[in-house]
Amino acid sequence: MYTQSDLKKLVNKAILNLSYNEEAEKLNDPVKYILSIGGKRLRPVLALMACNLFSDQIDEAIIPATGLEVFHNFTLVHDDIMDHAAVRRNLPTVHSKWNLNQAVLSGDVMAFIANECFLQTPARCLLKVFRVFNKAAIEVCVGQQLDIDFEKSVIISHEEYLRMIELKTAVLLAASAKIGSIIGGADDRDSELLYEFGRNLGLAFQIQDDLLDIYGDIKVFGKIPGGDIISNKKTFMLVTALEMASVEQAKILHEQLALKEFDPETKVKKIIEIYDHLNIRNISENLATDYINIAFCLLDKVSAVTERKTELVNIANSLIGRDN
């Protein structure tokens, strides 16, 4: 059985071996750059783990799994344009390092490089796998649209927020687990269970990520705490606080959100005070735990021997900040 570390190495190797049309090398430089600045390779690793549940032959899954990573990075390049983000993983974003046009175009070609990867899925399951991927790809775009729409709304419900992160983040993790399982030979029931496992894992992960903005260890997380608060980013905590707030608390929250000029520390302090009164940290942590427990329950039902599931359990725990 492959460990998370083994699989990450396999994925990184496959990324280095991707083939490019080299006729206009400027097109590929940003692609190679964004793919080289790494991260956890969560989506392909998840796919390969799901494959490895059912088969020791994971080779056939490596290229399609790499397609998931290429697609994910395509969305990062374009999302960074839309968010005016200058930095990602402590390095300049593509549109900052090059320019807007280059980020649009090099992002675009990544969508088709991802396709190339999926076209290398074994013929016996190519159509099934490609359909799962493509449905998720469209949903990720829908999620990004909802994210843009929500940034302009004063109030959104926590249900709306959860649906947005489900589309923007969770469905691709879900599709990754499902795709890996299909290539590994899972039947429809098991691959659907793995889809739901990935979906719940993704929801837990995103809520956890929102929490880390405030309660994360700066040394581990690498960001200044409260960045989301300073930028008025809609998070699970903020939308929940706005829903639960008393008239007085809502007034303070809206005042803080409306400030054009402010001392960042004061704003972060005032909003966290309200979160604390409303018990938002616990509510969020409990919801993340609920999702992760559902994920484990679904994984339990998958018809593979328990010891094969160890790596998926470990990665799920690490994603929500539990030590292995």
Residues that bind a copy of itself (CB under 8 A): 21, 23-24, 26-27, 78, 81-82, 100-102, 104-105, 107-109, 111-113, 115-116, 119, 123, 126-127, 130-131, 134, 137-139, 141-142, 144-146, 148-149, 167
- Shortest reach from residue 22's CB to a copy of itself, in Å: 9
Q: Rank residues 131 and 189 by Cβ distance to a copy of itself and give the closer one.
A: 131
- Shortest reach from residue 75's CB to a copy of itself, in Å: 8
Q: Rank residues 10 and 125 by Cβ distance to a copy of itself and give the closer one.
A: 125
Contact 54, 304 (CB under 8 A): yes
Classify residue 266 by burial, with Cβ atoms within 10 Å: 0-12, 13-18, 19+.
exposed
- Shortest reach from residue 25's CB to a copy of itself, in Å: 9
Q: Rank residues 78 and 158 by Cβ distance to a copy of itself and give the closer one.
A: 78
Q: Rank residues 24 and 224 by Cβ distance to a copy of itself and give the closer one.
A: 24
Q: Rank residues 104 and 294 by Cβ distance to a copy of itself and give the closer one.
A: 104
Classify residue 71 by burial, with Cβ atoms within 10 Å: 0-12, 13-18, 19+.
buried
Provide, for the chain, the percentages of residues in helix, strand and coil under a 3-state DSSP scheme, each rounded to the nearest 5: 75, 0, 20
DSSP 18-48: ----TTSHHHHHHHHHHHHT----HHHHHHH
Separation CA 246–CA 168 (nearest Å): 30
- Shortest reach from residue 141's CB to a copy of itself, in Å: 4
- Shortest reach from residue 117's CB to a copy of itself, in Å: 10
Separation CA 199–CA 137 (nearest Å): 14
